[in-house]
């Protein structure tokens, strides 16, 4: 394929610097190389530090909502310092900055949460009052709704940091995304949790690639690696999230599943203390994915009432 990108003018891929973010950027580069028969030298990977990475001593909910892991990368895109940006879609705000678009998603990985513990195999094995580490308000609320006896402590950091905290005895168990562990080659430590026990975060396990709307060369390159089924599913989930004003400060779970042209969406909202949960299943045609997600969001918002997430 002829594009403006070559060894002499490589495509600059923007990413966070964590091992998982770099693995996702490398996967994107490998797919582009294979799709277009391009050498590795036709790409450069640019590491950009984000607010979410820089501030490690406070919960995400205190320093802002979605966008903590994307804002600086998006600014680099707008400033033309990079050409595309690789994101974990669960970190991406539901409204993108003017001039940017995400119309390319890679095939989705395992959507489940993984229970990680050196001592126990599952949530039900945890003794009363056990200390669990998690920085996710969703996981915290889900756990409290199941096991109000558990003691939950803040657990920020990348996968390696959190595993070290477990080793150091800060907590007896934590949760990570199965997708991240698979991409890092650490899946052997995972005890996957059924989505019927813990509904995942909207867009969990999906990688999205952002570009400038006016960059037709990048659009052509990315079209060849786009996975349409993943895009349909996360479009439904993100529409649900948008309707609920979902951010890192709101406990929300959502999962869209496809069966041919049929879509099934599971959504839930949980009070932060786990005391109240509203969930349901919505069905429709895959072509109506956004409408299904938005309708589900409106439905649960009405059921929860004003101040549900307070």
Catalytic residues, by residue number, are 91
What string of DSSP letters covers 233-254? HHHHHHHHHHHTT--TTS-EEE
CA distance 223 to 245: 30
The Cβ of residue 71 has, within 10 Å, a number of other Cβ atoms equal to: 17
Rounded Cα distance, 152 and 235, in Å:
32
Please tell me the number of Cα atoms within 13 Å of 39 on its side-chain side: 5
Strand ordering across the sheet containing 43-47: 43-47, 11-15, 84-88, 207-212, 100-105
**For residues 270 and 216, is the Cβ–Cβ distance under 8 A?**
no
Determine the Cα–Cα distance for residues 308 and 310; give it in Å rounded to an integer: 6
Length of the chain: 310
User: Residue 74: CB partners within 8 Å, gap ≥ 6?
Assistant: 85, 96, 97, 100, 210
- 139 conformational bin, left if phi > 0, alpha if psi -120 to 50, beta if neither: alpha
């Amino acid at each position: 394929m002829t594009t403006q990108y070559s060894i002499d003018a490589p495509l600059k891929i923007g990413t966070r610097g964590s091992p998982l973010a770099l693995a996702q950027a490398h996967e994107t580069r490998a797919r582009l190389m294979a799709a277009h028969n391009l050498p590795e030298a036709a790409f450069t990977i640019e590491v950009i530090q984000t607010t979410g990475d820089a501030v490690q001593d406070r919960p995400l909910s205190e320093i802002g909502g979605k966008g903590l892991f994307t804002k600086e990368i998006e600014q680099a895109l707008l400033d033309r310092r990079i050409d595309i940006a690789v994101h974990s879609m669960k970190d991406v705000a539901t409204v993108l900055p003017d001039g940017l678009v995400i119309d390319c998603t890679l095939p989705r990985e395992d959507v489940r949460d993984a229970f990680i513990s050196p001592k126990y195999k599952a949530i039900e094995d945890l003794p009363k009052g056990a200390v669990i580490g998690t920085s996710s308000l969703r996981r915290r609320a889900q756990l409290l709704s199941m096991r109000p006896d558990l003691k939950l402590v803040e657990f920020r950091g990348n996968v390696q940091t959190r595993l070290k905290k477990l080793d150091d005895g800060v907590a007896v168990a934590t949760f990570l995304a199965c997708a991240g562990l698979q991409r890092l080659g650490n899946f052997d430590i995972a005890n996957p949790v059924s989505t019927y026990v813990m509904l995942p975060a909207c867009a969990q396990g999906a990688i999205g690639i952002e570009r400038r709307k006016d960059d037709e060369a990048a659009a052509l390159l990315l079209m060849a690696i786009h996975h349409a089924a993943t895009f349909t599913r996360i479009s439904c989930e993100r529409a649900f999230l948008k309707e609920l004003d979902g951010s890192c400060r709101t406990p929300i779970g959502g999962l869209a599943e496809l069966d041919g042209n049929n879509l099934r969406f599971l959504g839930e909202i949980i009070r932060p203390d786990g005391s109240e949960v509203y969930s349901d299943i919505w069905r429709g045609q895959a072509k109506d994915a956004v409408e299904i997600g938005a309708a589900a969001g409106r439905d649960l918002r009405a059921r929860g009432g004003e101040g549900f997430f307070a």
